[in-house]
Structure 1
Amino acid sequence: MELMNRFCPRILSACFVLILFMAPVANGQDMIEHPLTDLDGFQAPADNWRIVGAIEADRHGVADIQTTDGDGILLNMPSDGARENLFTMWEHGDIELSFEFMMPKGSNSGVYLQGRYEIQLFDSWGVPNPTYSDAGGIYQRWDPARNEGERGYQGHPPSMNVSRAPGLWQDFYILFQAPRFDAEGRKVSNAKMVKVAQNGVVIHENVELTGPTRAAGFSDEQALAPIMIQGDHGPVALRNIRYNLHLPAAAEDEKPPRFVPAIHVEPTSEAEVIRGFVNHDGAKKTRTISVGDPDGVHYVMDSAQGAVLYAWKGRFIETTDMWHSRGTQQLAVPRGSVLTFSGRPAVARLESDSIVWPDSMGADYVFKGYDLDADSRPSFHYTMSDVTITDRLLPGDNGRQLEREIVVSGDDSGSSEIWVLVAAATTISEGDDGVFRMEGNTYYLELLDSGGGEAIIRALDEGEELLVPVSLSDGSATVRYALIW
């Protein structure tokens, strides 16, 4: 078996297009927070709307939601007797809007700018080719006077599906420009979705809206009107609703736009493996390996630490700054909705479970390279003193999750115990189903094989760690887990 420990000059499927480098996705400075201590900020809320303090929405059960008393979360639970839409007390023209939402499996809702122009909220987890009716879509307009098959028109799908699993918090950032009217009230310019970003990824830019979308709260167009949240379809929760009643000004330090040929790498029939530099936690990592999979789930491995830095879905990677004129930063940039991990080594020896996990591998760590399977998916190999480690990541559940398998082999006679760091996060909690909720329901982690050890969650000064001890009494041990989002 030949291991690859240098750049392999394979032909990559690079897409050369002309793009405009834009300002950051979100401004979000000095935004007004809509209070969710009660429903006073909404017009005549029906009984399907209430305020709660915490929520769990099942990714397997349709309309299955568990709540805890408190405040901070707006919840819609429609029933046969109450399924009304909800309107804000305040009205808006141009607006900068952000919010988070969560819904159970199979649910459906929407947020209507000015009560008229819908951004769809939907359980679109794993949908390969999203349409206007999927999460992030700008819903179609509807004209019953048109011919059959033509009544729905001007729907706009998101540029890619970056939706997360049911029961996880997702976020939207929207810049909306209201329609303009002259002194006589005639419309002189259409409404426009200037920018819509879902989970940190821009999915719409400069989309003109010629009129209200289907099921809007109003059929006309106005300069000022309230936000409407759809309440007659399915359960949905929202929190951290923030807004500015104007569009943000460009940052003073924003660099002037420039046109360059963008280089996008996308896997087709087999995985793409790219070695290069990646930014992580404010530092440039110079020994990283980015792996893109045709199933649409990708990751970055730091070969200097045996650590996964990022995982994401959607499109793979942009290498413009690596390959265009040998750019100053020479960085590869993920193109989808990214999960960020601690970057700490996955395997270490600890004298006890109270010892601090090392920030980096010791002098006895040696990266031995990687080999590729028939689909060009790599297995990484390294040694740590008297043990060898094989680390492999594969897509699972039709690209809905990323499964990691760490095999530790060698001598178990050392004075300290071998542990696997499964995850480090701000918060880690185990659900009734045995699946861990990470970062306040930002993603799930399912421990598939603990290698014979019992997983523990230990508290840190900042955050928590999920650790598994492994025994090499049989010569090797395997730890497997799935990242689900």
Structure 2
Amino acid sequence: MRKSILLTTILAGGFFMANAQQTAKHEDTEFYEPVPPVVTPGKTNTDPPSDAIILFSKGNLNQWVSTEDNSKPADWTVEGDYFTVKKGTGNIETKRKFSNYQLHVEWKIPTNITGEGQLRGNSGVFLASTGKGDAGYELQILDSYNNKTYVNGQAGSIYKQFIPLVNANKKPGEWQTYDVIWQAPTFKTDGSVNTPATVTVIFNGVLVQNHIVLKGETLYVGQPVYKAYSGGAPIKLQAHGDKSEPISYRNIWVREL
């Protein structure tokens, strides 16, 4: 008797499922609103799309200021469609603040690079600059084509936190590309973390950081820690101050998400 009841139940369930499938319509799972806004792509994947904010293309650094004194303009060296770290001038950052975004930035290690380890073309993109100096969250820039150093300090690393999945570096003298998806941290009213920062990085077309959950801000010594901030933060470029030849940048744009 129990087997008969079980069989009847199974058959009935199958009948109702089959009947539900027959009465369902394809329109039930099709949506027509909200309609996504139209964004016109660039001519190439490195060109800014129509909704991008251009942070640098050529001619000037009007979108940038000194990190140490935001009332002063960025004093790096502009040469046509690229600019280069100027020694002794310190870091620079965007005038505008950003929360969540898609960022494209191209950079180049000079052909005549000297030094080794961390003294070989050291710079960085701070995805959120939270104060003077090196405060914030750093995506490392370094010549890591054939240069041994600690692996959470090579190009493509989230400095002192996350090793890149692969080494996708080009030779010094060649332009290299970072494409970044940044989700900024959020904080509770008491300053504690509500949601941590996450980042995805594509380096020269290769995925090197896959939706990483950050442990906190970049620290050279000690464990990373979060410090509450609100209202977004600038994007910062680092003047490392070492003796190697300075880094160049070009074609920088951002899309707010």
Query: What TM-score bracket applies, with the shorter chain setting the length?
Result: 0.5 to 0.7
After TM superposition, the structure 1 = structure 2 runs for residues 119-130 of structure 1, keeping only pairs within 5 Å, are 119-127=139-147
Cα offset for 1:219?
A: 7.5
What residue is the counterpart of 1:209 in the other structure?
Answer: 214
For residues 157 and 45 of structure 1, do their structure 2 counterparts lie closer, same or farther at Cα, with a shift above 3 Å needed? farther
What residue is the counterpart of 1:236 in the other structure?
Answer: 247
Q: Does 1:161 align with 2:167?
A: yes
What residue is the counterpart of 2:30 in the other structure?
Answer: none
2: CA distance between counterparts of 1:221 and 1:51?
Answer: 34
Of 61, 77, 80, 1:39 maps to: 61
2: CA distance between counterparts of 1:129 and 1:110?
Answer: 16
Cα offset for 1:131?
A: 0.8
Cα offset for 1:176?
A: 0.6
Cα offset for 1:127?
A: 4.8
Structure 2 portions without partners, runs of 5+: 1-44, 66-71, 114-119, 130-135
1: CA distance between counterparts of 2:220 and 2:61?
Answer: 23
Q: Does 1:245 align with 2:256?
A: yes
> SS at the partner of 1:226?
coil
Contact 1:211 1:221 in 2 (8 A): no
Q: What CA deviation, in whole Å up to 9, does each residue of 1:304-347 have, x standing for no partner?
A: xxxxxxxxxxxxxxxxxxxxxxxxxxxxxxxxxxxxxxxxxxxx
After TM superposition, the structure 1 = structure 2 runs for residues 462-473 of structure 1, keeping only pairs within 5 Å, are none
Letter of the structure 2 residue corresponding to residue 107 of structure 1: G
Cα offset for 1:33?
A: 1.5
Cα offset for 1:29?
A: 3.6
For residues 97 and 176 of structure 1, do their structure 2 counterparts lie closer, same or farther at Cα, with a shift above 3 Å needed? same
Letter of the structure 1 residue corresponding to residue 210 of structure 2: E
Q: What CA deviation, in whole Å up to 9, does each residue of 1:21-69 have, x standing for no partner?
A: xxxxx7964322214422221122464x12112xxxxxxxxxxxxxxxx
Of 50, 54, 57, 2:77 maps to: 50
1: CA distance between counterparts of 2:216 and 2:228?
Answer: 7
1: CA distance between counterparts of 2:107 and 2:220?
Answer: 20
Q: What CA deviation, in whole Å up to 9, does each residue of 1:54-109 have, x standing for no partner?
A: xxxxxxxxxxxxxxxxxx2121031xxx1401111011111100011011222110
Query: What CA RMSD, in Å, does the superposition of the two structures yield over aligned residues?
Result: 2.6
1: CA distance between counterparts of 2:139 and 2:91?
Answer: 15
What residue is the counterpart of 2:68 in the other structure?
Answer: none
Normalising to structure 2: TM-score of the pair? 0.64
> SS at the partner of 2:198?
strand
Normalising to structure 1: TM-score of the pair? 0.35
For residues 95 and 241 of structure 1, do their structure 2 counterparts lie closer, same or farther at Cα, with a shift above 3 Å needed? same
2: CA distance between counterparts of 1:205 and 1:126?
Answer: 24
1: CA distance between counterparts of 2:149 and 2:234?
Answer: 32
> SS at the partner of 1:231?
coil
What residue is the counterpart of 2:198 in the other structure?
Answer: 192
For residues 221 and 165 of structure 1, do their structure 2 counterparts lie closer, same or farther at Cα, with a shift above 3 Å needed? farther
What residue is the counterpart of 1:132 in the other structure?
Answer: 152
The structure in which a higher percent of residues are strand is: 1
Letter of the structure 2 residue corresponding to residue 233 of structure 1: G
Structure 1 portions without partners, runs of 5+: 1-25, 54-71, 141-154, 247-485
What residue is the counterpart of 1:107 in the other structure?
Answer: 121
2: CA distance between counterparts of 1:45 and 1:109?
Answer: 19
Letter of the structure 2 residue corresponding to residue 236 of structure 1: I
Cα offset for 1:156?
A: 1.0
Contact 2:77 2:85 in 1 (8 A): yes
Percent of matched pairs sharing the same residue: 29
